Amino acid sequence: MAADRPPWYLAPLPRQIEDLALRLVVPIALINLVGTAFGFWYYRFQLASTEILAWPLVPDSPLATMFIGLSLLAFRFDYDADWLHVLGFMGAFKLGFWTPFVQLFLNGPGGIALWLYVFLVTSHLAMVGEAFLVHRYATFSIRAVAVGVFWFGLNDLVDYFVPIAGEIHHTWLRAELVTGGFSHDVLAHDLAAGAAVTL
């Protein structure tokens, strides 16, 4: 673990919370991997209607929880994989903020059970906290940052702008649901894309 503590804006979690989380790193990692499995179940209908070629680019949040979970386990078992740590950090940060934005400001709670809505918002905000643990055990090489930028850049590109198979591949937004299917011409699509690219 790094001995020097960065400025608060790079490590906004209190040191005591960081220390506790790193002591509980294995259970936290396993919770993330269970969340990954739940996420794939959550995306089952969208995956069923998506070309297999695009499957790795559809379940964004489940992949983000997988990356951060594996990053935490790599730390715990002294496996130095800076590319994995970058993917874990970027995914947890980006999807941790993007999903609550979409749920609170675009989708709203209509159409899904209240417990699931609350779970989606709170679990994704918890991902942001996890992202800020990574500075305690990882450094990012330029090559690893390039891997993260490539993956999440490609993901945004095919999610919102240039699909690789059929329709664009981002999470189905209830705010895009119109008579007869999903419309990507509505303002919600542009707002979701703008938030994804900005994050």
Q: Are 161 and 59 in contact (CB under 8 A)?
A: no
Give the number of other Cβ atoms within 10 Å of residue 114's Cβ: 8
The Cα–Cα gap between 88 and 72 comes to 8
The Cα–Cα gap between 147 and 155 comes to 12
The Cα–Cα gap between 112 and 146 comes to 37
The Cα–Cα gap between 29 and 73 comes to 6
The model's pTM: 0.89
For the stretch 183-191, contacts whose Cβ atoms lie closer than 8 Å and that sit 24 or more positions apart, written own/partner, are: 188/106, 189/160, 191/105, 191/106
- pLDDT by residue for the chain (199 residues), tens only, comes to 444 666 777 777 888 898 999 999 999 999 999 999 999 998 899 888 888 888 888 899 999 999 999 999 999 999 989 999 999 999 999 999 999 999 998 888 877 889 989 999 999 999 999 999 998 899 899 999 999 999 999 999 988 888 887 777 778 777 777 777 777 777 777 888 888 888 8
pLDDT, residue 5, reads: 64
Which ranges in 2-136 belong to alpha helices (H)?
15-23, 25-42, 44-48, 60-76, 82-101, 114-131
The H or E element spanning position 142 is: helix 142-156
Give the tokens for residue 19.
């220390």
Strand partners, 182: 177
Give the tokens for residue 103.
């749920």
Among all chains, which residue has been given the structure tokens 């999440």?
152
Give the number of other Cβ atoms within 10 Å of residue 78's Cβ: 7
